[in-house]
Amino acid sequence: MSSPGEDMLSINLQGNGPIGSWILGMILALPFAKVSSITIAGVLVLLNAVQLNSLLIRNSSLSENTYIPSAFFVFLMSCSADFYYFSPALLASSFVIFSLNYLFYHIKYRGTEENIISTGFGIGVAGLIYTPFLWLYLFILIAYLIYSNTIRRRYFLMTWGFLLPIIMYWVFFFWNDRGTEAINFLGNQLAALQTIQVSPQKVGYTLGFGLLLGLMGFGRSFGSQGKTNHQILVQRAMAWNAFFAIIIAAFYAGEILENEILIIPSLTYFATQLVLNIERKWLREGIFSLCLTLALLSVYLGY
């Protein structure tokens, strides 16, 4: 008979964390695993789209309140068959967006210490689901250091929030005499760097248009006038998120595009900025029609 939690450390695929491996194993064991995987992935994509849109509206991160970000997010997540199935990276991205919400809230309102702890806690849980996302601790730390001007002891609180789920994970296995194995598992996953195996053609067909819109929006965002100080800080933080997402995708790249999930919130933000800066209504509608056409084409072709 297997010891408690054994399945959490038995599946070692492309950086999946212990929680992510365990959940993935349960889904694969279901009678209708493929249908279940697609259904869960669809629900997560919709929830992430709503969560990201609410985050941007609640923190007044854009020049106007709009549901364009959720539409762009769903469009980008519809551009590849790799995103149609459940993956630990997709589930972990939900906790990353959760942490971004607390980060932006603190930047704007100088929130309570609970916000600081919650930010670190979300990244810690995301890392236990998909191990490469543990590196986002550095992104959160840089964002707080540069843009929040918070007091020094709160950085320790954020670190404590980040370590808390990892400590709970270790205690669970330590109680079953597997503490060393649990820590080694995380270390091996973080050290399991891979060469880039995704073909450039596949990336171009799936994320090419989204990357183009994101880069155009990125350029126009930093050159535009009339933004509040908070909006400027948010767009810089989104740029940092994109930077870390690219680094993680490059160092932990596999044969599918799940590592690129982390960059999609930033692409969504900057693509929305680009559209909001367009004054001609027909051009805005044209971009949306093109996005819809490309998304349907990607689904039909199965990239």
Whether 138 and 93 have beta carbons less than 8 Å apart is answered as no
Structure-token pair, residue 273: 């900025």
Residue 272 has pLDDT above 50, yes or no: yes
Q: What global pTM score does this model have?
A: 0.82
Distance of alpha carbon 291 from alpha carbon 90, whole angstroms: 22
The pLDDT > 70 percentage for the chain reads 73
Higher-scoring residue by pLDDT: 136, 221: 136
Q: Which of 155, 157, 170, 141 is nearest to 237 (CA)?
A: 141
Amino acid at 65: N
Write down the mean pLDDT value for the chain: 77
Handedness of CA 100, 91, 200, 287 (dihedral sign): negative
Counting beta carbons within 10 angstroms of the beta carbon of residue 232, is it exposed (0 to 12), middle (13 to 18) or buried (19 or more)?
middle
- Predicted local distance difference test score (pLDDT) of residue 75: 82
Q: Look at residue 3 and tell me whether its pLDDT is greater than 50.
A: no
Supply the pLDDT for residue 299.
Answer: 57
Return d(Cα 163, Cα 190) in angstroms, integer: 16
Tell me: the pLDDT tens digits for 178-236?
Answer: 878 888 888 777 776 665 555 555 555 556 555 566 555 555 555 555 677 777 778 88
CA separation, residue 184 to residues 59, 117, 120, 149 (Å): 39, 26, 22, 36
Q: How far apart are CA 95 and CA 103, in angstroms?
A: 12
Long-range contacts formed by 123-126: CB under 8 A, 24+ apart? 123/95, 123/96, 123/99, 123/162, 124/161, 124/162, 124/163, 124/164, 124/165, 124/166, 125/19, 125/92, 125/95, 125/165, 126/92, 126/93, 126/95, 126/96, 126/99
Domain boundaries, the chain: 6-301
Q: What is the mean pLDDT of residues 239-247?
A: 81
Q: What count of other Cβ atoms lies within 10 Å of the Cβ of residue 300?
A: 8
56-104: pLDDT as tens digits: 888 777 777 778 888 888 888 877 777 888 888 899 999 999 998 888 8
Answer for the pair 163, 124: CB distance below 8 angstroms, yes or no: yes
In this predicted model, which residue has the larger pLDDT, 272 or 299?
Answer: 272
* Nearest residue to 15 via CA among 97, 129, 122, 124: 129
- The proportion of the chain whose per-residue pLDDT surpasses 90, expressed as a percent, equals 12
Q: Is the CA virtual torsion 71, 76, 78, 83 positive or negative? A: negative
List Cα–Cα distances, 60 to 94, 216, 253, in angstroms: 20, 21, 34
Task: Give residue 44's pLDDT.
Answer: 93
Residue 9 and residue 182 in contact, taking contact as beta carbons nearer than 8 Å: yes
Mean pLDDT across 6-23:
70
* Lookup: tokens for 137: 């601790």
pLDDT the model gives residue 84: 82
Other Cβ atoms less than 10 A from the Cβ of 38: the count is 14
